[in-house]
Structure 1
Amino acid sequence: MIDHTHDPRAQSWVEGAAGHPDFPVQNLPLGVFSLGEGEPRRIGTAIGDHVLDLAGLAADGALPQGLATALAQPTLNALFALDEAERVALRHALFALLSSERCRLKVTPHLHRSEDVALHLPFAIGDYTDFYVGIHHATAIGKLFRPDNPLLPNYKHVPIGYHGRASSVRVSGTPVTRPWGQLKAPDAPAPVHAPCRRLDHELELGLWIAGDNALGEPVPIDTAWDRIGGLCLLNDWSARDIQAWEYQPLGPFLAKNFATTVSPWVITAQALAPFRMAAAPRPDGDPQPLPYLREGGEGALSITLETTLHTAAMRAAGLAPHRLSQGNAFDAMYWTPAQIVAHHASNGCDLHAGDLLGTGTLSGPTQDSAGSLMELSQGGKAPLALPGGETRTFLEDGDELALHARAERDGYATIGFGPCVGRIAAARHA
């Protein structure tokens, strides 16, 4: 899948695109934008600090005509329902238009400055499933509740997941309202109904599904990567105090379904091809995956992940966001993206273009690579010191939490995901 569009020497004539930290011409992510309040939503790609209107280009005949109908839609669902070869053809056409000076006059009328557009959810999400494949996170959280047995017996045999709530997935920048729920302190005789006091973030990657499989038709592990249209950043906000009381015996419910934030740009599987690699061997003593989950080739991803916090007081004082953690998805994921997809459909569950799968929190092996405040503050016992003299154990109203990601590898241009941001708003009256 690596071709001329990954050439690190390639540059775009678009001002600011060459060497852009997120969106050089080697990236070409897909998303949905509008030009103002009430304006129609259109499919576009990010190039440097600009957004290129693909619907307009297609209408002008500058893109493969077989894609015109899909590109005229207000979401990416129709485009990602097509064969992968169609999206590869789109990538090749965009690369040619944006890297050839001869195409400047044809393309420029369809370019908009990023600051002049609004970004939207890229898909109409049919279903959302969140997994739990970050083994260091699972171990750290398990130690808080089960010090002698942090990982449950099934963890290394099966990718654990639960059905999330698609209706509350929102695009980056949407405020996150502090949720209400039942809270019960360990020494309290009964729960109370109150706003969450231990609000947390979860650093995840999101997998956007491409194509469809019929109900009853599994997805073989050898073709599972073909069903991953692209990736985004995902923050599955978590109310830890609500979760502690409600999660037994069925697992997450109100502690999770109040908000999930995704970054707006879909970093396509084609753009990520240079950053795939063979998964690390299982440690000695760990069980090997069952045959339907045994993956060959390059199924893992090397993606650097980072979280930053910007409090209201820091913003008022003109202080920069504070880095909370930094790690890599390769070190965090016990199960690969393809294994997630293959397991999800192994019982015949039908997956459709625009479905969203979360990886679960991706924490690294060290404390400074933890993907949640629950880990960073050791369950609230070790407050984090912030610039300006503040401390945090969990998120407070006005806090702005951002996720960042970049894929980098020697010999290739670095590409980024763009930020995934949410600012905490005060709880509303119940």
Structure 2
Amino acid sequence: MTDAADRQAIDETHDARRTSWVPGADGHPDFPVQNLPYGIFSPQDGAARAGVAIGDQILDLAAVAAMLPPDVVPACGGNRLNALFALPRALRVTLRRRLSDLLSDEQYRAAVEPALHPADDCELHLPAMIGDYTDFYVGIHHATNVGTLFRPDNPLLPNYKHVPIGYHGRASSIRPSGVPVVRPVGQHKAPDAAEPAFGPSQRLDYELELGVWIGAGNALGTTIPIASAADHIAGFCLLNDWSARDFQAWEYQPLGPFLAKNFQTTISPWVVTAEALAPFRCAQPARPAGDPRPLPYLWDEVDQAGGALALELEVSLLTGAMRAAGLAPHRLSRGPASNMYWTVAQMVAHHASGGCNLNPGDLLGTGTISAPDREGFGSLLEITRGGSDPVALPNGETRRFVEDGDEILLSARARKDGYAQIGFGSCRAVVLPAVGG
């Protein structure tokens, strides 16, 4: 079996017929035994530690260390997953197979069950020490939609179809699902104003993205070839790169976003592994006729044949008034994750192409993923056409941008005939009023 085929191998851990002895795991919308995502959790009155989500429970990896392959045990301890991400893919596969057996074979129940904790009784943390965070811009429909708002005659800049565009973001303000977002304060300038002003953002927005966790890295001064880039990806999460559009419009030229993006980024705390997503690999959408072929360092036929993911992404909004009335969140958009012009492997290969060293636990954002139509737009900037066409909510409220008390909820599910559905868990945060300004 070639390396390219092996990294997308489907084995017994993906079998839809496999069941778990953990109550409620079979048929769980996110965490059946076919998923087994990693995270960092702390039980009541306990220290943070590595765990695996199974149904509505969390398996404490340290508590079952004696039943794990010896080569992986050191990476399963501690309160960060960086060492586990850094494991060679073969060891990650070995660990996944062992965990699948422990949680599906009744013979292990008596030994393993005491290591389970109810998820509702636990706190979830950032899964890794994030050394660096890079946000890309590979959602072509988002790039086109936003470009049309500001440059109707030339939505995409000339470099977009030649190079994966990205910028280095702020890792220190990344927070797990559930941590509130304080409305940022900053400098902005209205189009008709003579001078800029300083105060709370009036055009706060969300961005629907996938997060990509780097596994094994590369040494400074070396590169990651496109053909092996997938081997450097440990897993995925959901990512909401909150954006203050009014700050961004004023500050982003010539160097890009700064205060508009660095106040907080929200991620789902469970890492859905690259191995769990093997059955949901799909072909990268063909480039439109006439588009340039990427340079050789960005092109791999195997990646084009299976470098996209069959995920359905969804964004919902719950306002304070809706919450008080006991109403359900209102869906704002839904669409496939395949609406990306560049693959994740192309992002990784390009990132390292100049000799930049990627490290285990580094986080990449895809950039906002949008569909061609409003049903699948990944931000309010697009849905409301820059605020000119507000969203009508079921309770009579309207929204142009995110208001105080609003909660944004992202979700993702992987579905394919013949395989069990798996999901990413919670990625949500409520917006609190600005503190200063």
TM score, norm. by length of structure 1: 0.98
Aligned to 1:264: 269
Pick from 134, 137, 141 the counterpart of residue 146 of structure 2. 141
Distance, in Å, in 2 between the alignment partners of 1:214 and 1:66 is 23
Shift of 1:403: 0.4
Distance, in Å, in 2 between the alignment partners of 1:139 and 1:149 is 9
Answer yes or no: is 1:199 the counterpart of 2:204: yes
Pick from 117, 133, 156 the counterpart of residue 112 of structure 1. 117
Aligned to 1:391: 398
**Residues 154-193 of structure 1 aligned to structure 2 (within 5 Å):** 154-193=159-198
Aligned to 1:429: 436
Aligned partner letter, 1:25: V
Do the aligned residues in 2 keep the contact of 1:310 with 1:400 (CA within 8 Å)?
yes
Pick from 308, 315, 323 the counterpart of residue 307 of structure 1. 315
**Residues 220-369 of structure 1 aligned to structure 2 (within 5 Å):** 220-297=225-302, 298-330=306-338, 332-369=339-376
Shift of 1:305: 0.1
Q: How many residues align?
A: 426
Answer yes or no: is 1:210 the counterpart of 2:215: yes
Aligned to 2:31: 23
Distance, in Å, in 1 between the alignment partners of 2:196 and 2:143 is 26
TM score, norm. by length of structure 2: 0.97
Structure 1 unmatched runs, 5+: none
Shift of 1:183: 1.3
Aligned partner letter, 1:399: D
Aligned partner letter, 2:416: R
Aligned to 1:411: 418
Do the aligned residues in 2 keep the contact of 1:405 with 1:416 (CA within 8 Å)?
yes
Distance, in Å, in 2 between the alignment partners of 1:93 and 1:137 is 41
DSSP 3-state at the match of 1:167: coil
Structure 2 unmatched runs, 5+: 1-8
Distance, in Å, in 1 between the alignment partners of 2:356 and 2:417 is 39
Pick from 25, 34, 37 the counterpart of residue 42 of structure 2. 34
Shift of 1:366: 1.1
Do the aligned residues in 2 keep the contact of 1:133 with 1:334 (CA within 8 Å)?
yes
Shift of 1:281: 1.7
Answer yes or no: is 1:14 the counterpart of 2:19: no
Distance, in Å, in 1 between the alignment partners of 2:205 and 2:436 is 21
Distance, in Å, in 2 between the alignment partners of 1:296 and 1:233 is 27
DSSP 3-state at the match of 2:195: coil
Distance, in Å, in 1 between the alignment partners of 2:389 and 2:361 is 40
Shift of 1:87: 1.1
Answer yes or no: is 1:127 the counterpart of 2:132: yes
Sequence identity percentage: 65
String of CA shifts for 1:29-63, please: whole Å, max 9, x gaps.
000000136x31110000001001011110xx111
DSSP 3-state at the match of 2:301: coil
Distance, in Å, in 2 between the alignment partners of 1:106 and 1:398 is 45
Pick from 74, 81, 90 the counterpart of residue 85 of structure 1. 90
String of CA shifts for 1:373-422, please: whole Å, max 9, x gaps.
00011100001011211000100000000100011111111100002001
Runs of 4+ with >4 A deviation:
none
DSSP 3-state at the match of 2:413: strand
Aligned to 1:400: 407
DSSP 3-state at the match of 1:341: helix
Aligned to 1:372: 379
Shift of 1:235: 0.3
Aligned partner letter, 1:321: P
Pick from 36, 48, 51 the counterpart of residue 44 of structure 1. 51
RMSD: 0.7
DSSP 3-state at the match of 2:67: coil
DSSP 3-state at the match of 2:138: coil
Distance, in Å, in 2 between the alignment partners of 1:421 and 1:357 is 19
Do the aligned residues in 2 keep the contact of 1:319 with 1:387 (CA within 8 Å)?
no
Aligned partner letter, 2:123: A
Aligned to 1:69: 74
Answer yes or no: is 1:55 the counterpart of 2:40: no
